[in-house]
Structure formats: C-alpha cells, structure tokens
C-alpha cells in the first residue's frame, strides 16, 4: 500500500464516515453545528470534511448514550467533563426516568387493551336512554378530595361504618351517587358530595347530612364502563347527543355507582351510570 492510500485509509470524507458509522450526512452536519462532533479536518480550498478513527469511536459512544435515553444536550454535557461516560448521579436520574416511563407505558398498555376489548365487544358505552329518577332520602357527605381515588377509602372505611353505627338501612333499589359542586372541572381539590339512599331519616352527624334528593323527571343517562379517569369520554358522547337533539341541561350530573371496587376485581368491569337532568 502506497503512502497516499495509507493516509486515506485513516481519514474519511463525510460520506464515507456516514456509511461506516451508519448515520446520515444530515445528522453529521447537525452534530457539527452544535459542536458535538466536529470534523477532524476541513480542507480550506475544497471545504471537504474529514473524520478519523477516534471520531468513529466517539460516534459509537454518542449512539450508545442516545439508546440509553440521554439527549444530545446531556451527551454534550458529559463530554464537556472530559469523560465519555455519565457519572453515577446522571445514571440514577436516568434510571428513575425509565421507571416512570415504564409505569406510563404499563398504564397505556392497559388502556389500549381495554379499548380493544371494548371495541371488539361493543360494550364501551351503552346506548343513551332517558328515564325518571324518583326522589329518595339520602345520607350525604360533602368534602374536598384530591382525586376520586379517595372514595375507595372514604366510602367503605369512613362513611359505611358511620351509617351502620346510627342504624341506616339501604333498601332496594340501592342508589348511591356523587355530584361535583365545582364551577369548573378540577383534576384535584374536587368539591364532591357523596349521597346514598337510605330507608329512613336520621339526625345529622358530624359526617352525614340527611335530606330528600330532588326528583329528576327527565334524566339523560348513559352507562360508563371502566376507570373513573375516563368519565370525560362518556360525557363527551352525552354532550354530543344533547346538542344534536337540542336538549338542555338543568342541573349538575350525577355519577351513579353500580359496580366498582367493592364487587369487581378489575376496574375494566366497573359500571357507572351518568345521569344528567335535562328539559
């Protein structure tokens, strides 16, 4: 091998370097623009860019760190320390991000599986129907909650024992529901009233207030199957129906709990009837 070929074998034009490292020329130009990987040599007459073997190793490091989830800015910061490896703190932080992403992906997979099953069985949302909901004596509790998850503790562990203590009965048909009193939707600090129909009046307690709920002569109803986080999907269908039929809402919607954590193992089987008073 002559001297010229020997020299050329250790430096590469940008196209050659692109093929060897399996990255596009556009990517190499971008890395040069952000000073992440600059050519080893630029011919002042032709403008040709040349890369050497050590830069192919640096490119491999960049690709590896990208696969580990590091951004180009983070990789540049790592290189600025004189090292080609992240320190322990950076690795621990990235591991925590991975764990968070795994949980998000698990939740997304569950949602997608649920959606797939609902589409296959066509049970995502039952047809809309209108009915009269009679007045009932209810035991009511109202408080600010951070999320609907608090109901899983509030109802069975706090309100249930309180109702049993004062001798409340829950005659058929059983009826419990919640009403949100916020003027607008809130993801947290929800002003929520929980009501459960009872068979008789009782004196109010620090936790419970007894009154007769209003009769809903016309309530547009729709069954929601699944997590309470997805109430918005069902409600969107209801609102579309109301608009198309020129029906007007006259009061706060009720969320009537038929099946839930108390009798179903999977939240995919939770059944809630959304009841909207209308005229």
Q: What angle do CA 133, 136, 142 make, to 5 degrees?
A: 105
CA 7-10-14 angle, 5° bins: 110
Instruction: Return the CATH class of domain 129-277.
Output: alpha beta
| Other residues' Cβ atoms within 10 Å of the Cβ of residue 72 | 14
Question: What is the model's pLDDT at position 120?
Answer: 57
Q: For the chain, which residues make up each domain, given as ranges? A: 3-86, 87-123, 129-277
What whole-number distance in Å separates Cα of residue 239 and Cα of residue 243?
6
CATH architecture type of domain 3-86:
Orthogonal Bundle (1.10)
DSSP label at residue 125: B
pLDDT at position 28 is 93
C-alpha to C-alpha distance for 78 and 61, rounded to whole angstroms? 11
Predicted confidence at residue 89, as pLDDT, reads 92
Kindly provide the residue ranges of all beta strands, DSSP E only, lying in 111-264, ordered along the sequence: 129-133, 137-145, 176-180, 190-197, 209-212, 216-225, 254-259
> Directed axis angle between helix 14-21 and helix 25-33, to 10°?
110
Q: Is 191 exposed, middle or buried (0-12, 13-18, 19+ CB in 10 A)?
A: middle
Residues 6 or more apart in contact with residue 182 via CB below 8 angstroms: 190, 191
82: left (phi over 0), alpha (psi -120 to 50) or beta: left
Residue of higher predicted confidence among 233 and 257: 257
Least-confidence region, from 114-123, 131-140, 256-265? 114-123
Q: Residue 117: what pLDDT? A: 66
pLDDT at residue 66, rounded to an integer: 92
Banded model confidence at residue 118, pLDDT cuts 50, 70, 90: low
Q: What pLDDT is stored for residue 95 in this prediction?
A: 93
- Backbone CA torsion sign across 79, 81, 85, 89: negative
Asked if the domains 3-86 and 129-277 are classified in one and the same CATH topology, the answer is no
Separation CA 214–CA 252 (nearest Å): 11
C-alpha atoms less than 13 angstroms from C-alpha of 256 in its C-beta half-sphere: 16
pLDDT, tens digit, 9 for 90 and up, residues 204-232: 999 999 999 999 999 999 988 888 878 88
pLDDT tens digits along 127-162: 788 899 999 999 999 999 988 888 888 888 899 899
Higher pLDDT, 212 or 126: 212
């Amino acid at each position: 091998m002559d001297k010229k070929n020997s020299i050329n074998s250790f430096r590469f034009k940008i196209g050659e370097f692109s093929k060897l490292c399996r990255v596009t020329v556009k990517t190499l130009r971008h890395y040069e623009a952000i000073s992440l990987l600059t050519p080893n040599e630029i011919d002042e007459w032709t403008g040709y860019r040349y890369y050497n073997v050590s830069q192919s190793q640096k490119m491999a490091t960049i690709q590896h760190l990208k696969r580990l989830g590091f951004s180009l800015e983070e990789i540049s910061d790592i290189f600025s320390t004189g090292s080609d490896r992240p320190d322990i703190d950076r690795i621990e932080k990235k591991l925590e991000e991975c764990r968070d992403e795994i949980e998000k992906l698990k939740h997304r997979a569950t949602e997608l599986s649920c959606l797939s099953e609902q589409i296959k069985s066509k049970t995502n949302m039952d047809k809309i129907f209108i009915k009269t909901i009679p007045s009932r004596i209810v035991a009511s509790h109202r408080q600010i909650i951070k999320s609907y998850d608090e109901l899983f503790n509030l109802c069975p562990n706090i309100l249930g024992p309180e109702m049993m203590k004062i001798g409340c009965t829950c005659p058929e048909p059983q009826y419990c529901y919640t009403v949100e009193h916020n003027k607008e939707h809130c993801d947290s600090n929800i002003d929520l009233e929980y009501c459960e129909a009872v068979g008789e009046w009782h004196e109010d307690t620090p936790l419970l207030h007894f009154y007769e709920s209003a009769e809903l002569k016309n309530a547009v109803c729709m069954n929601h199957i699944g997590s309470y986080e997805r109430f918005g999907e069902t409600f969107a269908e209801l609102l579309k129906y109301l608009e198309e039929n020129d029906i007007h809402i006259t009061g706060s919607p009720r969320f009537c709990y038929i099946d839930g954590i108390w009798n179903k193992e999977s939240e995919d089987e939770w059944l809630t009837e959304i009841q909207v008073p209308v005229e």
